[in-house]
Amino acid sequence: MPEGQSQSFESIVIRASKGDHDAFQHLVGQFQDAIFRMVFFRIHSEMDAQDITQEVFMAAVKNINRLKSPDQFKNWLYRIAVNRVTDYMRKKKFAAIFSPFSVSETRTSSDDVPHSNENQWPETPLFKKEFWKNVRTLTASLSSMEKEVFVLRFFDQQELSEIAAILDKGESTVKTHLYRAIKKIKNNPEKAILLEKGCS
């Protein structure tokens, strides 16, 4: 980010932290799509991703006055989102104990539209459904931290230093998790083929 833009961004964050509604609205406009996608990559449900995105910004507006470094706003926002997703997953798991069908009944974005017989890249619902199913298969054997680092690096396109800041870990720890994640996928022949095909 150029120096001028950076200063401008930081001043917006400072204004937002002092209760400037317009400044915060500006930040919402800048990050809402990225946060929504980030949440969707983890839960694969459009409806729930919308709700969680809303919750993330509500939590942010409530606590922005506690943010010490304005330049860390993005990482801080991502950390809120990661925590919200973790909460969501925990609740879903808890609900699944009492309702064994609730997990399979979760609506994914590809279920929201009727299936067609076409299977051409990348717009058809069937392609999307298969893709996310394959991504789930690919990351199924990864630990929660390995999965988080993998998705942050390759889906959310975050730098290693940013991932370290988001997860509040050291950069070397992040590298270790990423290394293990890639190794697990590459050493599994079935998953290696999926990866080569791009999960399509």
Q: What is the binding site for another protein (CB under 8 A)?
A: 19, 21, 24-25, 28-29, 32-33, 36-37, 40-41, 46, 49-50, 53-54, 57-58, 61, 109, 122, 127-128, 131-132, 135, 138, 150, 153-157, 160, 175, 178-179, 182-183, 186, 195-196, 198-200
Of 47 and 95, CB closest to another protein: 47
Q: How many helices (H) and strands (E) does the chain have?
A: 10, 0
Q: How many residues does the chain have?
A: 200
How many whole angstroms separate alpha carbon 104 and alpha carbon 101?
A: 6
State the minimum distance, in angstroms, from the CB of residue 189 to another protein. 13
How many whole angstroms separate alpha carbon 60 and alpha carbon 78?
A: 10
Of 170 and 198, CB closest to another protein: 198
Cα distances (Å, whole numbers) of residue 154 to 17, 128, 163: 31, 18, 11
State the minimum distance, in angstroms, from the CB of residue 100 to another protein. 28
H or E element that contains 96? helix 73-98
State the minimum distance, in angstroms, from the CB of residue 167 to another protein. 15
Q: What is the dihedral of CA 112, 115, 120, 122, to 10 degrees?
A: 0
Of 33 and 87, CB closest to another protein: 33
Of 58 and 95, CB closest to another protein: 58
Of 3 and 123, CB closest to another protein: 123
State the minimum distance, in angstroms, from the CB of residue 84 to another protein. 13
Name the nearest CA neighbour of 88 among 138, 42, 134.
42
State the minimum distance, in angstroms, from the CB of residue 178 to another protein. 5
How many whole angstroms separate alpha carbon 25 and alpha carbon 163?
A: 25
Coil, strand or helix at 160: helix
